[in-house]
Amino acid sequence: MTDRTRPTGPGTEPAAGTEPATGTPPVAGTPPAAATDPAAGTPSQTLVSGTTRLYAVLGDPVGQVRSPGLLNPLFARLGIDAVLVPVHVRPDDLETVLRGLTRVGNLDGLFVTVPHKTAAARLADRRSPTVELTGSANALRPEPDGTWLADNFDGSGFVAGLVQAGHRPKGAKAALIGAGGAGSAIAAALLGAGVDRLTLTDPDTPRLTALADRLAAHWPGRVHAAARPPLSDCDIAVNATPLGLRPDDPLPFPPRQLPPGAVVADIIMKPHDTRLLREAAAHGLAVHHGHHMLAGQLDSYRAFFGLDRP
């Protein structure tokens, strides 16, 4: 993916201007005015024009993605003439679509969601240390030399959201179900945040073993792979699988087996209250919703994509 040199980034676009008088076209090269929420009186989303920079989030499905609702208002608030759109890409088409998008001259970044995070990491020209460790990526940006750099903020965002909600991982015994793209990043971040023991579970045994081995090389004695999570002796249990996206999905684990005081976290963002979280709450357990992980990544995205540059 080395087919272009990065154009002027979104942070160098002029601030969103004032809507011209009716019938007067905007001056060429200036971004259009932002749409305004009448109730709040603040910009809700920048309107699209010929100068708009593009970002895309790739997934299969994409109906559940929440990043456009978080990033597009941010672009408007910062006066950045850019828009983030969802792109539905099936796994067999990912390489073709990804390589095609990197040829788009006004594309300044990509977000990646289920199930493409591992494949996106392999397709990137360069990988951050986090991506090298976890084998997954959720954000890619073009570099000045035309290459594309992959990074992953799922883990740091999850831990930030967990801490902000008052659930501190340091010294905890954690069970993580799902060793895929998001799960691998969350596993590394939980270990980095000081969990005393992390048990990983995934039906894909080779993937599970490979991740446990990579993590154990950095955090020896604290990582364990298991066919079933030790829920009865667990402080934090995390669902990092897609189970819960559909109403007829089975539970990723039975929350009733957790001890009182345990926290049940689900990274699924839509529906807001998954079946897992509803049943955990019914058993009197603390629950942690998926939107916290995305909100916890916002500052990292701003830094990675240079959204605060004047």
Mean pLDDT of 202-227: 97
pLDDT at 11 over 90: no
Please tell me the predicted confidence (pLDDT) of residue 146: 94
Q: How confident is the model at residue 18 (pLDDT cuts 50, 70, 90)?
A: very low
Query: Which residues belong to the active site?
Result: 117
Please tell me the predicted confidence (pLDDT) of residue 44: 53
Mean pLDDT of 239-260: 96
pLDDT at 72 over 50: yes
pLDDT at 16 over 70: no
Mean pLDDT of 117-145: 96
**pLDDT tens digits along 255-269:** 999 999 999 999 999
Nearest residue to 199 via CA among 234, 167, 171 = 234
**pLDDT tens digits along 27-52:** 333 344 444 444 445 555 558 999 99
Q: How confident is the model at residue 64 (pLDDT cuts 50, 70, 90)?
A: confident
pLDDT at 17 over 80: no
3-state secondary structure the chain: CCCCCCCCCHHHCCCCCCCCCCCCCCCCCCCCCEEEECCCCEEEEECCCCCCEEEEEEECCCCCCCHHHHHHHHHHHHCCCEEEEEEECCHHHHHHHHHHHCCCCCEEEEEECCCCHHHHHHHCCEECHHHHHHCCCCEEEECCCCCEEEECCHHHHHHHHHHHCCCCCCCCEEEEECCCHHHHHHHHHHHHCCCCEEEEECCCHHHHHHHHHHHHHHCCCCEEECCCCCHHHCCEEEECCCCCCCCCCCCCCCHHHCCCCCEEEECCCCCCCCHHHHHHHHCCCEEECCHHHHHCCHHHHHHHCCCCCC
pLDDT at 154 over 60: yes
Higher pLDDT: 182 or 43? It is 182
**pLDDT tens digits along 77-99:** 999 999 999 999 999 999 999 99
